[in-house]
Amino acid sequence: MKKFKTESKKLLDLMINSIYTNREIFLRELISNASDAVDKLYFKSLTDSDVQLSKDELAIHVGFDEGARTITISDNGIGMTKDELDKNLGTIAHSDSQAFKTDNAEQQGDDIDIIGQFGVGFYSSFMVASKVRVVSRAFGSDEAWAWESDGVEGYTIAEAERAEHGTDVILTLKENTDEDNYDTYLSEYGLKDLIKRYSNYVRYPIQMEVSKTREKPKPEDAGDDYKPEYETYTETDTINSMIPIWKRKKSDVTDEEYNEFYKTNFHDFADPARTVSLHAEGALTYDALLFVPSRAPYDLYSKDFKKGLALYSSNVLIMDKCEDLLPDYFNFVRGIVDSQDLTLNISRETLQHNSQLKAIARRVEKKIKSDLENFLEKDREGYEKFFENFGRGMKYGLYTSYGTAKDVLGDLLLFYSAKQKKMITFKEYVKAAADGQETIYYATGDSVERMAQLPIVTTVLAKGYDVLLCPEDVDEFCMMAMSDYAVPDAADPDSLTAWPLKNVGGEN
């Protein structure tokens, strides 16, 4: 038996027990490794005329044996030689994929889409497995080799048999305990769920043998009382979608497809009110697909509600909800962000806080603001319905930001006009203001109807000035945080004139 190199026993124990907090990601990591192996072979076929290979021939297969307590992840990718098995799996934190990614950086995201970075994902297997066996045959070689380890002391490498190039990773699962049920992963449903959740957009087919039922042919001599009989059979299915909807051209995707994606992935029965797509290239390349719901979730204003966008890296799910991608006042937005350029931490479970994340968040915020302004301008009725659902949170966001978000939110807020008897924006208030007026007046209270009858409100109205009636408890704090609304100066459009907000009073 070969010992793990460079204090690897301690390092392996650290990774198995400390780096990963969610053990079900083991399948994500192994599928990502398989995808890298397939990608390397496909890239070889593009750069070596002697390699005749069609992309349609490449795939990843996942299977399980409940009796033997094994899960097998197979690919027909580049494979590994004996030395490569020793180097890649015997030296912890060595990433052959990262080296390949660096050497071929100019093709990343085009001909290749290498996922691996740290060389530790493979060892997440030991969170669920008592033994791991890897059988691999390098492309162009007649020999196959098997690497085997229990993840404790070391590993062995011995000759093996494999019909063609590629790699099999066979996990023998741990026995169940009172705290842990590893049988969860020994089922068709359990594995399909993990594939769809974490690896649905890996760009090679992930296949499984799945059970199906079908009606047996009706016997020719069947009588009138014949009842249909059914049989169970197995069939190879592709489990993953492969091509993410956010990577497709917007012109190639229908509204119905966007709506179905939203409802399926974000568990809503209603179509979204708005769909926003964003593609950025440059120092940081990423795609975003954002949705504004048409109704507020039941727990939006509860302490249990968690904002955030789903974060993907190279089409692999990293976080269900990355809170740092959305400001609190846009917490209602759902969607995804996908980038191959993100600097992830070693577990790939959370993102390092850095300038990349902040840059994406700023661009996402601007895109949301721009789309909501367009919504307000082009579909007033729809926007007012949206504001009924989500306006309170935007007002609260302006208050909790101590007014620093007023440049983002100021033009998006609606208040009831006592003079016009409808919901209006600050911009519309100023546009309709009386000659010589330089102040925005508002009143607070519990009821628009009662506030409209207040002597101070009727007095202001009698002077030809409008009053914004604010019946929500957050309105007064929002207006105080807003403090003023800036508009272009009539004499000099390049400069701004601030219209102060003044509370004329309210209900006792």
Q: Could you read off the pLDDT of 52-68 as tens digits, one per residue?
A: 787 888 999 999 999 99
**What pLDDT does residue 18 have?**
60
What value does the CA radius of gyration of the chain take, rounded to a whole number of Å? 30
pLDDT at 243 (0 to 100): 85
Q: Which two tokens stand for residue 335?
A: 């969607």
Q: What is the pLDDT of residues 421-469, one digit of tens each?
A: 999 999 999 999 998 899 999 999 989 999 999 999 999 999 999 999 9
User: Cβ distance 337 to 276 under 8 Å?
Assistant: no
Amino acid letter for position 69 = R
Residues 6+ apart with CB under 8 A from 357: 322, 324, 325, 342, 351
Q: What's the confidence (pLDDT) of residue 421?
A: 95
For residue 273, give the amino acid letter. A
Query: Looking at the predicted structure, is the pLDDT value of residue 101 above 80?
Result: no
CA distances from 170 to 59, 65, 92, 131, 270 (A): 17, 10, 19, 8, 42
* Whole-number Å distance between alpha carbons of 280 and 286: 5
Q: Return left, alpha or beta for 465; rule: phi > 0 is left, psi -120 to 50 is alpha, else beta.
A: beta
Instruction: Give the pLDDT of residue 20.
Output: 67
Q: Name the pTM for this structure.
A: 0.78
Q: Which residues, including other chains, have CB under 8 Å from residue 323's CB and lie 6 or more apart?
A: 306, 307, 308
Q: Is 21 helix (H, G, I), strand (E, B) or coil?
A: coil
Collapsing DSSP to helix, strand or coil, 231 comes out as: strand
Neighbours of 64 (CB within 10 A): 20
- Judge whether residue 10 has pLDDT over 50: yes
Q: Does residue 352 contact residue 343 with C-beta atoms inside 8 Å? A: yes
Least confident of 9-18, 175-184, 192-201: 9-18
Q: CA–CA distance from 202 to each of 293, 299, 313, 477, 508 (Å)?
A: 27, 32, 10, 47, 61
Cβ burial, residue 414 (10 Å; 0-12/13-18/19+): buried
pLDDT at 116: 46
- Model pLDDT, residue 49: 78
Which pair of tokens denotes residue 123?
A: 């060892």
Q: What percent of the chain has pLDDT over 70?
A: 87
Residue 113, Cβ density class (10 Å: 0-12 exposed, 13-18 middle, ≥19 buried) = buried
User: What does the DSSP 8-state code read for residue 108?
Assistant: B
Domain 245-381 carries which CATH code?
A: 3.30.230.80
pLDDT digits (tens, 9 = 90+) for 492-503: 767 788 999 999
Domain boundaries, given as residue ranges, for the chain: 2-214, 245-381, 414-506
Which class is 2-214 in CATH? alpha beta
Q: Which residue has the tokens 């957050």?
A: 474
Helical ranges in 217-294 per DSSP H: 255-265
Architecture of domain 414-506: 3-Layer(aba) Sandwich (3.40)
**Identical fold between 2-214 and 414-506:** no
Specify the 3-state DSSP secondary structure of 29. helix
Write the pLDDT tens digit of every residue in 332-387: 999 999 988 877 654 455 555 577 888 999 999 999 999 999 999 999 999 999 99
The lowest-confidence range among 319-323, 326-330, 455-459, 502-506 is: 502-506
Residue 304: predicted pLDDT: 82
Three-state SS sequence of 400-460: HCCCCCHHHHCCCCCEEECCCCEEECHHHHHHCCCCCCCCEEEEECCCHHHHHCCHHHHHH
Average of per-residue pLDDT across 162-180: 94
Rounded-to-integer distance, Cα 351 and Cα 117, Å: 14
Average pLDDT value for the chain = 87
Q: How many CB atoms lie within 10 A of CB 490?
A: 7
Query: Hey, how many other C-beta atoms are within 10 angstroms of the C-beta on 431?
Result: 10
